[in-house]
Amino acid sequence: MPSVLKATNDIANRGKGKGKGKATEDDVPATGKRVNEVEKKRKDKTLLITSRGVTQRMRHLMLDLEALLPHTKKDSKLDSKSSLHLLNELADLHSCNNTLYLEARRHEDLYLWLSRSPNGPSAKCHVQNLHTMDELKMTGNCLKGSRGICVFDGKWEEEEWGRLMKEMLGHIFSVPRTSRRLKPFIDHILLFSILDNKIWFRNYQIIEKDPLHPSGPPQTSLVEIGPRFVLTPIRIFEGSFGGPTLFANPEFISPAAVRASVKREAGQKYRVRKEGEMDRDERRKRTREEVPEDQLARKKVFA
């Protein structure tokens, strides 16, 4: 009889919790975590979108990024370049919390927007030295849909904007384990390095054995795959695609200003040459006027 009462009390004590299978204090191990506690899954998704006016090379870069990041969702081109707040609504419709926006200007300048939607922060970068996988034709190769290891060098911790950009790039380019199109392999490295206040991007394949000696001991090496490009940070905003400015690059000069300066120098050379021709004509005219008229000139003799 006492055993029956004890069992009844145990059942009553277990049923005091609201949850159906709520753990009691006895179920909590010494580590402080409950046995049935499930680790919170990371559900990062990235919206990949371009603007109107992208060239063939820019479109190939978007396809390369889509192949490298299986957790991206591609959308059609954005018509308006002034209403960037629409990107937050598109990211919300696709259940994405990251956004990669490729903005083309004058069919030759490419800008990359990185944003944590919908609250920010966001960064605008100028893309230079762009080379796609088809252009490079490297010998490296990796499985489509596999996870890549994001590697950052030590210079990212030296500046405040570097630490912020490192966090944003880590969220956007690191593929979560819960992605649906993910293949459970890690066979390439995404390298982000800072040199001359620019962000250099490289993609390498991890080779564990020498292909010339497959039966030999493991020798890990890296072979570049592509693509490769350089990002120049222009401005970092507190919000998503706008808001207060957290960082502004004072050394950045827009490519349109560079081209205008080159044209101005070429126009200056043309202007100097024309001014020289005008001075020469004036000297010749002045010389003819200063020289006395010859008495034996034809118009004098046959007058």
**Residue-range domain boundaries for the chain:** 46-257
Lowest mean per-residue pLDDT among 26-35, 124-133, 187-196, 230-239: 26-35
Q: How far apart are CA 188 and CA 69, in angstroms?
A: 12
Mean pLDDT of 259-263: 88
pLDDT, mean over the chain: 83
Query: In the chain, how long is the greatest CA-to-CA distance?
Result: 157
Give pLDDT, residue 13: 55
What are the distances in angstroms from CA 30 to CA 36, 253, 299?
14, 58, 123
Chain segment 154-179, per-residue pLDDT in tens: 899 999 999 999 999 999 999 988 88
Residue 106 pLDDT exceeds 80 = yes
Q: Which long-range contacts (CB under 8 A, 24 or more apart) does 126-129 make?
A: 126/231, 126/232, 126/234, 126/252, 126/254, 126/255, 127/61, 127/102, 127/229, 127/230, 127/231, 128/198, 128/229, 128/230, 128/231, 128/232, 129/228, 129/229, 129/230
Q: Please report where in the chains the tokens 């101005």 appear, as a residue.
A: 264
Lowest mean per-residue pLDDT among 124-128, 230-234, 254-258: 254-258
46-257 maps to CATH 3.40.50.720 = no
Residue 295 pLDDT exceeds 60 = yes
